[in-house]
Each structure stands twice: as structure tokens, then as C-alpha cells.
Amino acid sequence: MNSVWAPFKYKAFAVIWTATVVSNIGGWMYSAAAGWLMTDLTRDPLLVSLVLVANTLPLLLFAVPAGALTDIVDRRKLLIVGESANTILAAIFAWMVWAHHVSATSLLLFMFLIGVFGTVTAPGWSAITPALVPKDALPAAISWNSVGVNLSRAIGPALAGAIIGPLGIAAPFVIDAVSNLGVNAAIVWWREPKKSPSRLPVERFGSAMSVGFRYARNNPALNSTLGRSIAFMLFASSYWALLPLVARSQIHGGPQIYGILLGAIGLGAVCGAVAIPKWNKRVGPDRLVAAASIGTAIALVLFGLAREPLVALAACIVAGVAWIVAVATLNVSAQVALPDWVRGRGLAIYMAVLFGTMTIGSALWGEVAAIAGLPLAHFAAATGMLLAIPLSWPWKLERGAQFDLTPSMTWPQPIVSDGVDIDANDGPVLVTVQYRLASEANREPFFARLVWLRHERLRDGAFAWGIFEDTAQPGAFVETFKVDSWAEHLRQHERVTHADAEVENHIRALLAAEPVVTHFISAM
């Protein structure tokens, strides 16, 4: 079977993917109807742009706590609770629209609340993908997830625009609530493969969050992905926020036109997703995102010039292709930069940055449009997008092939004397590692590998790191790092990857003898 279709050989992926596409169709009907409903309530560009802000702000505020929960609780149960709550809220809001009890304030409030529960489940949905397919099918599965989102984006808004006229503005909200039932059933049916149970207590919530931030701060590959995401999303957010006004005020269309324009973005995204594997193989992820940025700038210029539906339609198709190329490439780069133990937190930080930038950008471009008008706002965003390409170029994206981030379990258990009773919460713990170089010629390669080692220690739970040379014995070094507790240090043993172990083996090859490891625990 062609590798592009490989994920669908696995029943769990096929069932959950299908259910989420159906649910996302309802979700995009809801989003399109919400944007149009706000233009019924007000024509203020800032308030219209706040619809997108209300939908994405929860990701900025709550994605990291949601990611911590994803890593320390049962992911499946978390998804069940979050999706059930989302369905209930969607049903309540559908009734309010049906009964004509909605104001601009209540619309923004429910957009925000539904966004909160969507945020609770978002890291979990991303984190379970590696559990649905084997590693060699993961890039294709991630791409298909993006295809599913954009396929639903192509269908949902167009369907919403088609039914608002004959059935009323409440109909898309009712369909959204019903469509959530399938994804609830799918996640209840699925059973996550069993993992080897850890002998350590579950991480505390606050500690899990701080470790997640520390990991992200010391993961250069993830940081590069975050930088490129900001550079793209800050300017791409403009057309998402302003599209309802382009449809209504600039080309003087109705809900059907608005739905068709959103559907065209989704259609373009589906077409782009099919070509991503071939394009990625030819030019690589960095040039692919740069090309997507150029495509987005072209689309923004077309949005600024659009006075007829056909020009806006062309802009939407170009924007859709560029959107999926950039976002899918960034998603793969974030996924492959993370080991499983911190995947929920790492992806949550990525989503918080991605959609936090979209939130800020939406409000920014709404204000620019209110002051300078829609065309100038689009032209300014296009200029910013082009300037961002060379500025963000030093941040390189990951393919994932060069690093094995599965646990190596190569660290031996710490030696504890008989009669010494150490509680899991005792600490902090100071770990020292003594090195002696085999020759002075090994100094430079030793320090080069220490850069990776420092990031490894800090990523995996250490809060302080240092390297010291003996003044009496050149070439003799002591590495030190501190960890919050004994349990957290034992977790470090489970977090060391095969890529980390390979670097440690390279260091050993430079030494005259095996490193000597010593553990100290706070005595007071």
C-alpha cells in the first residue's frame, strides 16, 4: 500500500479520524455561523475580529495546564470528559440562538467557554496519534489529521452558508451539537495500548507544568518550530479575522458567499495536503514554510484588492494551500521534536504559541482595519509576512529522522546504602559526574558534546547545571546538576532517550576511564 494511505490500515486511526472529521464539519459550521451572526449583531471590525479571539484565547491561557493533565492522567478519560462537556455547551448555545437570546456579549462568552473545553482536549488528540499508528506511519497520520481538519473546513462553512437561508441561523449550531456525539462514541470505544507502568508516583500538577516549560526552553528543535510558527501566524491570522467583513462589506455578499469563501480555503488546504509529501521531499520543511509564507502574502494582496467574489475566491484557494503547507509542516516538526513522556506538554506549548499568536494577530488586524480600512490592513499583513521570511530563516525545522527519542533506559539505578531511607519527595538532589579526558586533543569535541548534555539534563528535569575543571589536574572535570526531588531524579532515568545515550557514548570515547557518578541529597 502507498505510504500516504498507510495510517488507514489501522482500525483505531480510521475510526477516530472519520469521527473527528464529522465533528469538525459541525465545528466549522458553528465557527462560520458565529462569525456571520456577529455581523448581524454589529458591523464593528474589532468586535467581529473578537469572535476569532474568543475562540483561540483559551489555547493561549489554558493549553499548557491541559498539556500537563494530558501527560499525568489517563488521556482517554480526559478526552471523554472534555468532549462531553463541549457537546453540552454546544447544545445550550444552539438553544439560545434558536430562542433569540443571543447578544454580542453572550456570543463571545460561549465561544470562549467552548474554546476552553476544546483546549482541554486539544493536546490529548495530538498526543494519542502516535498510539494509533506505528512510528513509520506517523508523518502520514499527522498529515491526514491536517487533511481532515481542512476537509471539514471545506465542507462545514459552505454547508452552513447553504442552510442559514432556508433553515435559519440556529441550524448550524444544532448540527454542531449533534455532530459531537460521534467523536464521543469513538473515544469511548477506543482502548489505548498498555504501557509499561512506572514505579514512580504520578507527577504533581504544578511540577509537571514547570518541567514542561523547562523542557521546551531547553529543546532547540522545538524552539525553532515555535519561532517559525510565530513568524507565520502573526500575519496569516489577518485574513481569518477579517474574512466575514470582506464577504459582507467589501464584496457585498451574503452568508452563502461567506460559506463558499471559507469552503474554498478548506478546498485549497485539501489540495495542498495531498502534495505535501512530494514537496517536502523535494525542498525540505524550511523552504516549504517559506513558500507557504509567499503564497499567503499573495493571498493577502488579493483579499485587499477583492471587490468581486471571484477575486476573493482565488485568494481563499491560494490561502488554503499555503495554510495547510505551513501548519502541517510545523505540526510534524513539533511532534518529532518531542519524546512521549512530555508530548502533551510540549504540544500544548506549541499550540499555545501558535494560537496565542493567532489571537493577538486577530485583535491587532481588527484594530488596524478599524483605523485604516480592510484593504490597507491586508496589504500591511502581506508586507509583514514577506519580511518575516528572512528574519525567521535561522530557525530550522525538524524532519525527525536523525534522532531516536524513545527511552533508552541506559542509566543504572542510583546506589543507596543499606539502612538509608529516602522518601520520593526528599530533595533537592545534587548529582555529580567526574570525567577525565584521555588527551588534551579531546577537549574541543568534549565541550561540543557537553552542549547537548546540558540541554539533556535541563530538559529532563534538572534546574541547575554546571561544568568545572580541576585546577590541579587539567583535563579532569566535574559536571553538576540539581533536581527538585529524589522521585524527579528517578524520572530522569526513564526520560533518557537513545539520542541522549548516543551522545553519552561519544563522550565516553573521549575519556581515559568510565565517568564516576555520585548522588547527594539535601541534609537539612
Q: Can you give the three-state secondary structure of 30-56, one letter per residue?
A: HHHHHHHHHHHHCCCHHHHHHHHHHHH
pLDDT in tens, 55-86: 778 877 888 888 888 877 888 888 999 899 98
pLDDT at 1 over 50: no
Determine whether 8 is exposed, middle or buried from the number of CB atoms within 10 Å of its CB (0-12, 13-18, 19+): middle
What span, in angstroms and rounded, lies between the C-alpha atoms of 456 and 500? 7
Q: Where in the chain is CATH 3.30.70.100?
A: 429-521
| Grid coordinates of 314 | 482565488
Instruction: Find the mean pLDDT for residues 313-341.
Output: 88
Split at pLDDT 50, 70, 90, the class of 198 is low
- Of 437, 486, 489, the closest CA to residue 460 belongs to 489
Instruction: Find the mean pLDDT for residues 319-345.
Output: 86
Strand order in the sheet with 429-436: 462-469, 476-483, 429-436, 516-521
pLDDT at 2 over 60: no
As a dihedral over the C-alpha atoms of residue 287, residue 292, residue 293, residue 298, rounded to 10 degrees, the angle is 130
What span, in angstroms and rounded, lies between the C-alpha atoms of 136 and 4? 11
- Of 27, 149, 163, the closest CA to residue 87 belongs to 27
| Grid coordinates of 156 | 462545514
Instruction: Give the three-state DSSP class for 434.
Output: strand
Sign of CA dihedral 293, 277, 28, 229: negative
Out of 72-86, 308-322, 380-394, 504-518, pick the least confident: 72-86
pLDDT at 446: 94
The CATH class of 429-521 is alpha beta
| Grid coordinates of 373 | 480600512
Q: Where in the chain is CATH 1.20.1250.20?
A: 3-392
Contact 123, 351 (CB under 8 A): yes
Query: Rounded to the nearest 5°, which phi and psi values hold at 462?
Result: -75, 150
pLDDT in tens, 215-269: 888 888 899 999 999 999 999 999 888 888 888 888 888 777 877 887 788 788 7
Instruction: Find the mean pLDDT for residues 3-24.
Output: 87
Which pTM does this prediction carry?
0.73
- Of 191, 174, 178, 144, the closest CA to residue 9 belongs to 144
Strand partners, 482: 430, 464
| Grid coordinates of 431 | 548529582
Average pLDDT score over the chain: 86
pLDDT in tens, 454-492: 988 988 888 889 999 999 999 999 999 999 888 888 888
What span, in angstroms and rounded, lies between the C-alpha atoms of 384 and 390? 11
pLDDT at 395: 92
The CATH class of 3-392 is mainly alpha
| Grid coordinates of 111 | 465561544
Task: Choose the most confident range, by mean pLDDT, from 55-69, 305-319, 421-435.
Answer: 305-319
